[in-house]
Amino acid sequence: MPEHPAPLVLDPAALEADAEHELLRARGPATRIDILGVEAWSVSDPALLKELLTSPDVSKDARRHWPGFEEALRTWPLALWVAATNMFTAYGGDHRRLRRIVAPAFSARRIAALKPAVDGIVEDLLDALESTPPGEVADVRERFACPLPITVIGRLLGVPADRAGEFRVLVSDVFATTLSPEEAAANTARLYGMLDALIAAKRAAPGEDMASVLITLGEGGADGERLTEEELRDTLLLMINAGYETTGNLLDQAITALLGDPDQLAHLREGRASWPDVVEETLRHSPPVKHLPLRFAVTDIPLPGGRTIAAGEAILASYAAANRHPGWHDDPHAFDVTHITKEHLAFGHGIHFCLGAALARMEGEAALSAFFTRFPDAELAPTEGDMGPIPSLISNGHRSLPVRLRPRTP
């Protein structure tokens, strides 16, 4: 391979993601890539990635630290990922302020208090699935993996139940990486339209939900924290975006892996592994977020081997490639719930570490244990649905998850 190969153009449809990640690892700890027309450094070495994710020389604030920002706003289908103003894209003090406002809602105590409600939603969804006649196939992504997190996050935020479905479609298109810039911009406009309507409704009739609390803060909360109108809208956007498709992918991937390998299910049934083991191994093996756009070098950053990420250059955190790095895990491509080390970067690392990790883990454990208890004989029916990958460099799930929940009656 030449010393400085041309940027690797990532396939927007991510049809062969595992092979592409292999290629990234083979090109070294960090390598030049092209993601939908934007050049960046993809980092797939876990040690280097952790170093960059904790360095003050790396920012997520495109407005301040990316010379390509204005151009991206006009032409890049993923512009929303760098343009929204919330903790996800904030740097330094702004990040601390924006995260501190929302963080109490995700404390261990608050998440534990949500557990009975999550169990209730899981049971309702499983009751609905139970009506599938024996022998028939259900799309478990469509009817279970995705509705659970969208219902949970919808209730947390105070989204009326009859609007959750619309949000779901719009959020899926935020993760899609095959839209044209115009299609992506139209999707963003529709999403903002729904958020504006939600904010107006909560202003008129506040509740106990997070949207109402954030609106009060925008108007000057009791403890002096403040959110601008734009930050309020974009923080709600972040919550909806971050909380749904990711957790849906976790359930989709875990159910796929367990049904695809009876030995793994046997480890659980015979007590050699637990539901938290399944969740962690799924996060490691098939992380719900494959690549995370984007970060930016604040100053020149020297790389191992003598190259430099120049100030202003973009960085792509390639979490899925890093999680299967052979230097980190033995037999990294095997899904094995008994793996002793399940360390991973599925939730990121450092100051932007996923705020919803505890909620996602709780939802994952509750949903998976209940699903496999209710449908102990479930089996994959891959020929009866499209199990191809979602066309996305970010989201890591299947187009559908066809499962025969109960065998045909003899």
168 is a contact residue toward ligand HEM (CB under 6 A):
no
Q: Indicate which single residue of 257, 292, 320, 380 sits in contact with ligand HEM (rule: CB under 6 A).
A: 292
State which of residues 238, 257, 297, 314 lies at the interface with ligand HEM (CB under 6 A).
238
Q: Does 239 bind ligand HEM (CB under 6 A)?
A: yes
Q: Tell me if 72 sits within 8 A of 347, measured CB to CB.
A: no
Residues 115, 366: contact at Cβ < 8 Å? yes
Show the site string, 85-104: x = touches ligand HEM by CB under 6 A, - = not. --xx----------x-----
Compute the 3-state secondary structure of the chain and give helix, strand, coil in percent, each to the nearest 5. Answer: 55, 10, 35
348 lies in the binding site for ligand HEM (CB under 6 A): yes
The structure tokens listed for 208 are 């106990």
Query: Between residue 353 and residue 372, which ones bind ligand HEM under the rule CB under 6 A?
Result: 354-356, 359-360
Cβ closest to ligand HEM, residue 195 vs residue 292 = 292
Rounded least distance, CB 352 to ligand HEM, Å = 3
Q: Examine residue 397 and tell whether it contacts ligand HEM (CB under 6 A).
A: no
Query: 3-state class of 30 per DSSP?
Result: strand
Find the Cα–Cα–Cα–Cα dihedral 89, 93, 97, 103, rounded to 10°: 70
User: Which residue lies nearest ligand HEM, judged by its C-beta?
Assistant: 356
Give the neighbor-by-neighbor strand order of the sheet with 38-43. 8-9, 30-35, 38-43, 314-317, 292-297, 58-59
Closer residue to ligand HEM, CB minimum distance, 76 or 319: 319
- Comparing CB distances to ligand HEM, the nearer of 129 and 345 is 345
| Secondary structure (3-state) at 49 | helix
Stretch that binds ligand HEM, among 39-47, 189-197, 221-229, 245-253 (CB under 6 A): 245-253
Q: Does 318 bind ligand HEM (CB under 6 A)?
A: no
Contact status: 153 vs ligand HEM (CB under 6 A): yes
Residue in 346, 370, 390, 403 binding ligand HEM, rule: CB under 6 A: 346
CB 286 within 8 A of CB 253: yes
Decide if residue 393 touches ligand HEM (CB under 6 A). Answer: no
Tokens (6 digits) for 346:
């599925």
The only residue of 242, 273, 294, 298 in contact with ligand HEM, by rule CB under 6 A: 242
Residue whose tokens read 């990640």: 21
**Binder of ligand HEM out of 59, 187, 247, 264 (CB under 6 A):** 247
Among residues 228, 214, 345, the alpha carbon closest in space to that of 291 is found at: 345
Among 158, 243, 385, 397, binds ligand HEM (CB under 6 A): 243
Annotate 156-180 with b (16+ C-beta within 10 A) or e (fewer): bbbbeeeebeebbebbbbbbbbbbe
What are the start-end ranges of the E strands in 158-276? none
- Residue 402 in contact with residue 385, Cβ under 8 Å? yes
- C-beta of 245: minimal distance to ligand HEM in Å? 9
Query: Which residue ranges make up the site for ligand HEM (CB under 6 A)?
Result: 87-88, 99, 153, 238-239, 242-243, 246-247, 250, 287-289, 292, 317, 319, 346-348, 352, 354-356, 359-360
